[in-house]
Structure 1
Amino acid sequence: MAHTVPETIRTSATSGERILFRTLKDYLPEDYIVYYEPEIHGRRPDFVVIGPDLGVVVLEVKDWTLNTIVKANKDEWLIFGRNQQQAMEKNPYKKAEEFTFHLMNHLKKDNHLLQTEGKNQHNLKFPCGYGAVFSRLYTEQMSREQLYSVIDPQFCFARDEIDPDHSHFSETVLIEKLMNMFKVNFRLREPLPQADIDAIRHKLFPEVRISGEFKQPAPHQDQILLSMHNLKTMDIHQENYAKNLGDKNRLIRGVAGSGKTLILATRAAILARENPDWNILILCYNISLANYLQQQIDVKVNELESEGDQGSLFDDESGDKQSFGTIEVYNFHSFLYNKFKAKDEQIPNLVESLKSNNQLAAQYDAILIDEGQDFEQEWLTLVSHLLNPATQSLLLVEDRAQNIYKRKRSYVEDTGLSFQGRSKILSINYRNTQQIVRFAWDFYRHNSELQHKVAEHEFEGEIIAPKTTPRKGPEPYIYKANRFVDEMTHVSQVIHKLNREHHVPFDEMVILYRVKKMSRENYIGTIQHQLKAHDIPHYWISENPSSKRQYEKNDGQVKISTIESSKGLDFQAVFIVNIDQMPFIYEDDTQREAALLYIAMTRAHKYLCLSYSGESAFTQYLDEVKNQQTNTQNEQSS
């Protein structure tokens, strides 16, 4: 079964489009991707099929009958259109051809997708084909009416060739015919690697790009070949969520690292592109996350604007640059102050004023909320009164395993909107390695009250267990020291090792702490002193509100942050220090402390280091894990 984007076809699609969608999904190989009406730089072909052993094929679908067609030639067809009025239509095959040239024009801008030698040098390294689909005409009819004289049978499908319910349908014929829809006889000797498939998607759909990710350093000679392959791309599931969430209110619940924030940012950029007159609001709880989200939104909108403004063989002559809706990004309390000059205690009066129309406030056509689990009931009530009732476009994104503020949830009461049947669960972790996911989840299960809380479907339960993750890496590293200064000396040495030997940039590393200062220990002072002593550039994110707002990921500095301020952020390497202060002695809620440490662990892409120089309930657990790791290593070596 092939992957499809969207996963299901819209109800307004024609009957022929629905049949072809179902057939391609059911009968093409599992590593094929089928796009229905994708937006590709201002154009929308009916279907685009991408396959490792196929290349790319564009299909134009027509639901015409013999009675629809008056006459046809190789360039234009005269048909009966709406209200039986005659109209000239471009030959569907020619229309598919134009879409394909438009698509190829953009793909050729990525040098890595081009052949580098031979007579076909500078051409794409894979074939691009195109054809027409006549969903209400049969091969016998097309032959009898001599339609094959104006459109070669090699480049078109008839109803009996795409409908599995027809007695003459053949899966073999379907695939073989699709493999031959190319003007130039060009079969791939070897299937395209996944990197090339991702690069094709990356170039055609800039909204699925994951920008600002860590890039492995390349040798000098490889720098010449660097292209869009150096930027990662959403997987098909994430792309489907971002592009096809549907209208009005929606809820996304996902595990840490499942791409919730990425989907939200992409969704906002797509809404802004599709609705140039909309005012869009993005809210989160965390100040540093708001700043990071703003950077991500800026990158995505700039990519969509620049890609849409590039020339094409078939661009409109006007050359007008595409306009975008307005996107505002705030953490909630900054929004509250900037828009209403209000504080938390004034929210009830503010809500009543909005209800009675005494308060003038701008409405938003779409509101997207990250970290929904951290929002108070009255915050959501306030936000819901700022939503345009005509659009009701509210997207909530949450992970209740990261609910460190113990907010109570009743979205129907909070927003006046029901999310029953309008939610998605993301259980695949893309950020972390299998080793980190397993380590973090085992810790969380051992140290939290999970009974009757794990969700399987929509609203059943509160916490979503991570099901799988595609990446592998080293086991998390546990280090126990005698003093905190020794702990930080070791952490500094490991940071240098990762930077020198594994080429991890300083700005892809973060040190997370639970406690800044105690009467007998200045933790933050020791952290900064040791980093400075080891010539490690560093930036303290959580020093004050100003430092949170000025946070930049790619500044060449190791980051220092409280665990709370790291929510929504991620790094290649994460160092969690002074874990002996967890659970914190002045914190009665150990469940919150377990959630905090789980959040900290899941900030790491590949490298996770946990260190301590004292004892606590959590360090006792880590001691047991470390002993198990040591015993396993000894058994393997003996």
Structure 2
Amino acid sequence: MALFPQGLTQIDKRCANAGERAVLHQLKRCLSDDYLVWHDVPIGPKARQPDFVVFSPRRGLLILEVKHWAWGSLRAYNRDSVELATARGLVTVAHPLLQARGYALELNEVLERDPALIQDAPPFRGKSRVPYGWGCVLSNVRRKQVEGTDFAEVFPDFKTLLRDDLSEELDPYEFEKRLWGMYAGWTPQALTLPQRDRVRWHLFPEVRVQQASLFEAQEQTAPTLALPDLMQVMDLQQEQVARTLGEGHRVIHGPAGSGKTMILIFRAQQLAAAAASERPILVLCFNRILAQRIEGSLRQRGVDERVQVRTFHGWCQDMVRTYQLDVPQHLAGDAYFAALAETVERAVARGLVPGGQYLALLIDEAHDFEDAWLRVAARMVDPATNALLVLYDDAQSIYQKKRRRFNFASVGIQAQGRTSILKLNYRNTAEVLALAMHCAQGLLADRPATDDQMQAVQPSSAGRRGPLPVLLQAPNVRAEAELVAERIAQALADGRAPDEVAVLFRTRQRMVLVAAALQRRGIAVQSMATPGFRAFVWKRPSVRLMTLHSSKGLEFPLVVIAGLDALPWKGEPLDEELRLLYVGMTRATHELVLSAAGTSPMVQRVHNSLEAVALQFAEQEAHV
């Protein structure tokens, strides 16, 4: 059976008439599992919406327009238009084949601008290697009705499916051959998986995985935009999860690097596009830097300020200002933030802050939220839409002072039967993920959801390979800073851009020496230890120095975790520090470097894990 990334149930709900449902059923019945089918979704740079898009890596791209016209309603037709008798009188509409042809040619032009999808051998040198075609389906017209007319001159048989072609009795292979006959005339050639994903990258901008460009303004127009060598898109499971979220409360469990934030961004974009009212949509997270990242990505995708992105405490500040709530002003730091949250919680409970303010609410990194915060958030969703999305990974819960045991229903999140699980980690190389998991062993065991415990999901590697992580050891903190700066300088000399590098620390104190060592080498730096620091300027090319906590939700090709000897910090439980280290390690998309001044139990643990991982991959190579 073909794969429907939107989900069959969702498509069936969206079908405009019985004809579209009949086509959906026949595509499901007759096509093999390497076909992908989308229905009525924006496609290409101009966001056209054909009725069906059929894509096969063996056959190419096909556009189908479906019309459920009765034969008696067709009063006149030519190659450009059709005149229909309707309840409103005679209506002239565009010929469906003309529509479908226009969509197909437009998409082919887009694909032909991608050098990686161009044929290099005659007779089609310079043309897209993705065959394309178009056709129409007149789902309420039978062949017997059109016999003896000029119908075939305007609706050629090889481009037109009729009701007879949607019969249950038609052999699936015969139906598939009818579709093949609609393609433009060149021999199909099987596309590789990367080529298939390049096609999806062009067709559906919303499934693109943004990397460094998340923080950069895109000022180039689409025709001049330089195409990346590696076009990363959601995998088909991620796309299916994103497109089938539907109504009601939804929970997505997934480990680091599985695409949860990407799905949240996709969902926010979808909700904003479909919203009929001006009511705001709220995105909440714990981490201020992650909030900046999400907001930047949404604005880059053209989503306006109707989608508001806030940290939970930033949103509480908004409520305090809007509803004139009193928060004790003599408090500072964590005590103030705790009082701020408690003030808003009480105000919501008493009705001073009204519930149902938001058309939809999406929570990233919900594992960092206190139970009361989740309870408040659930009350902020408009009951008419009930649109709440919660993303959760217990392994990355690094702000909870005490491990909690609860179920979602206890905080007002009703997601029974509406929970999705992502397992594949796409962010990290197999080597980086193996080290992170080995260091954090015991924290990541699969655990099903129960009434008392949250779902825990152990990540599986997507198999992408890279260099083994390394551990730099120095006798003191100054020597460590020089080793780290030297390693980064070498990476930049080898072609790595400064903004592709992040150095993570347990606290800000250790940043000063590393920042100075980098600056002595002429390397631009942005550091959270800089006096008056408030936020990173992501457009500025520079190496970022940040805390492990602040790195949550971010990713960089090269990550250095410095000061391993400082973990655990001031008597923090070892398990919690290992959880934090796991979060830091999984920020690296390609290369991971760790450093320490002297030794400690944590440094020894990482050293032992590195040796075990190196042996693991050496044995794998020996058996290849």
- TM-score, normalising length: structure 2: 0.83
| Separation of aligned partners in 2, 1:4 and 1:632 | 38
In 1: Cα distance, 2:611 partner to 2:96 partner: 68
Which residue pairs with 1:381 in the alignment? 375
Aligned mate of 2:410, from 386, 408, 413: 413
CA distance in 2 between partners of 1:147 and 1:246 (Å): 41
The alpha carbon displacement at 1:285 in A equals 0.5
| Preserved contact between residue 78 and residue 86 of structure 1 (Cα < 8 Å) | yes
Q: Structure 1 residues 159 and 456 mapped into 2: Cα distance closer, same or farther (>3 Å)? A: farther
Match of 1:426 in 2: 422
2:250 alignment partner in structure 1: 250
Partner of 2:156: 152
From the superposition, tell whether residues 350 and 500 of structure 1 become closer, same or farther in structure 2 (CA, over 3 Å): closer
Indicate yes or no: 2:66 matched with 1:54.
no
Within the candidate set 290, 301, 308, 1:328 is matched to 308
After superposition, where does 1:177-576 map in structure 2 within 5 Å? 177-182=178-183, 184-188=184-188, 190-213=189-212, 226-227=226-227, 232-275=232-275, 277-301=278-302, 326-341=306-321, 342=327, 343-359=337-353, 363-406=357-400, 408=404, 409-414=406-411, 416-446=412-442, 448=443, 454-455=447-448, 461-501=454-494, 503-517=495-509, 523-541=510-528, 547=533, 549-576=534-561
Between the two proteins, what is the percent identity of the paired residues? 28
Matched-pair contact (CA < 8 Å) for 2:19–2:68: yes
Q: Distance in 2 between matches of 1:211 and 1:38?
A: 21
Matched, 1:45 2:50: yes
Q: Give distance in 1, aligned partners of 2:225 and 2:311.
A: 40
TM-score normalized with structure 1 length? 0.81
Indicate conservation of the 8 Å contact 1:139/1:160, yes or no: yes
Change (3 A) 1:114 1:247: same
Matches within 5 A, 1:584-595: 584-587=569-572, 589-595=573-579
List per-residue Cα deviations over 1:333-355 (Å, max 9, x = no partner). Answer: 12212331455325445344445
Cα shift at 1:51: 2.8
Count of residue correspondences: 590
Q: Distance in 2 between matches of 1:62 and 1:602?
A: 50
- Retained in 1: the 8 A contact 2:139–2:163? yes
Report the more deviating stretch, 431-440 or 566-575: 431-440
Listed as ranges, the gaps of 5+ residues in structure 1 are 216-223, 303-323, 518-522
CA distance in 2, matches of 1:482, 1:264: 44
State the AA in 2 paired with 1:413.
Answer: S
Structure 1 residues 460 and 65: alpha-carbon distance in aligned structure 2, compared to 1, 3 A threshold: farther
Is the CA contact (8 Å cut-off) linking 2:424 and 2:460 kept in structure 1?
A: yes
Q: CA deviation at 1:564?
A: 0.5
Which of 365-374 and 264-273 deviates more? 264-273
Relative to structure 1, is the Cα distance of residues 270 and 542 closer, same or farther in structure 2, using a 3 angstrom cutoff?
Answer: farther
Q: Which residue of 2 aligns with 1:622?
A: 606
Native 8 Å contact 1:258 1:431 kept in 2: yes
Distance 2:86 2:345 in 1: 53
Offset from partner CA, 1:101-145 (integer Å, 9 cap, x none): 454565566677667999988865544311112445555665577
Report the Cα offset of residue 30 of structure 1: 4.5
Q: For 1:536, what is the secondary structure of its paired residue?
A: coil
Letter in 2 for 1:536: I
Partner of 1:5, secondary structure, is: coil
User: How far off is 1:571 after superposition?
Assistant: 0.4
Equivalent position SS for 2:4: strand
Deviations 1:143-185 (A, max 9, x none): 577743431121123445455x41x3132x3333322214x52
Deviation at 1:578, TM superposition (A): 2.0
Is the contact made by 2:407 and 2:452 (CA closer than 8 Å) also made in structure 1?
no
Distance 1:607 1:457 in 2: 37
The residue type paired with residue 207 of structure 1 is E
Residues 1:467 and 1:20: Cα distance change in structure 2 (over 3 Å):
farther
Q: Is the 8 A contact 1:423 1:458 kept in 2?
A: no
Unaligned 5+ segments in structure 2 are 215-223, 322-326, 328-336
Query: CA 1:66 to 1:230, structure 2 compared with 1: closer, same or farther past 3 Å?
Result: same
- Which deviates more, 275-284 or 592-601? 275-284
SS of the counterpart of 1:329?
A: strand
Aligned partners of 2:484 and 2:514 also within 8 Å = no
Cα pair 1:78 1:87 within 8 Å, conserved: yes
Contact 2:31 2:172 in 1 (8 A): no
* Residue 192 (structure 1) shift: 4.0
Counterpart Cα distance in 2 of 1:96 and 1:392: 37
Take 2:213 and 2:305, find their aligned partners in 1: how far apart are those partners? 30
Q: Deviation string for 1:524-570 (max 9, x for gaps)? A: 333223323433322113657x63x4213442211111111100111
1: CA distance, partners of 2:450 / 2:107: 39
Q: Is the 8 A contact 1:202 1:228 kept in 2?
A: no
Do 2:508 and 2:546's aligned partners in 1 also have CA atoms closer than 8 Å?
Answer: no
Distance 1:629 1:511 in 2: 22
Q: Structure 1 residues 230 and 435 mapped into 2: Cα distance closer, same or farther (>3 Å)? A: closer
Q: What letter matches 2:265 in structure 1?
A: A
Distance in 1, Cα, partners of 2:535 & 2:618: 47
What secondary structure sits across from 1:211 in the alignment?
coil
- Structure 1 residues 66-103: Cα deviation after superposition (integer angstroms, max 9, x where no partner): 566667655555656579x7755544333323433454
The AA in structure 2 aligned to 1:198 is D
Q: Is the 8 A contact 2:39 2:52 kept in 1?
A: yes
Deviations 1:445-496 (A, max 9, x none): 24x3x56x62489998531111331421122223333333333332222222
Amino acid at match of 1:61: V
> In structure 2, how many angstroms separate the alpha carbons of the residues matched to 1:139 and 1:395?
48
Distance of aligned partners of 1:592 and 1:54 in 2 relative to their CA distance in 1, 3 Å threshold: same
> How big is each residue's C-alpha offset from its partner over 1:13-49, in whole Å with a ceiling of 9 and x where there is no partner?
3454345335435654554432111123353211112
The C-alpha deviation readout for 1:305-348, integer Å capped at 9, x for no partner, is: xxxxxxxxxxxxxxxxxxx5612222121221233145532544
- Say whether the 8 Å CA contact 2:280–2:359 is kept in structure 1: yes
- Which stretch shifts more, 600-609 or 421-430? 421-430
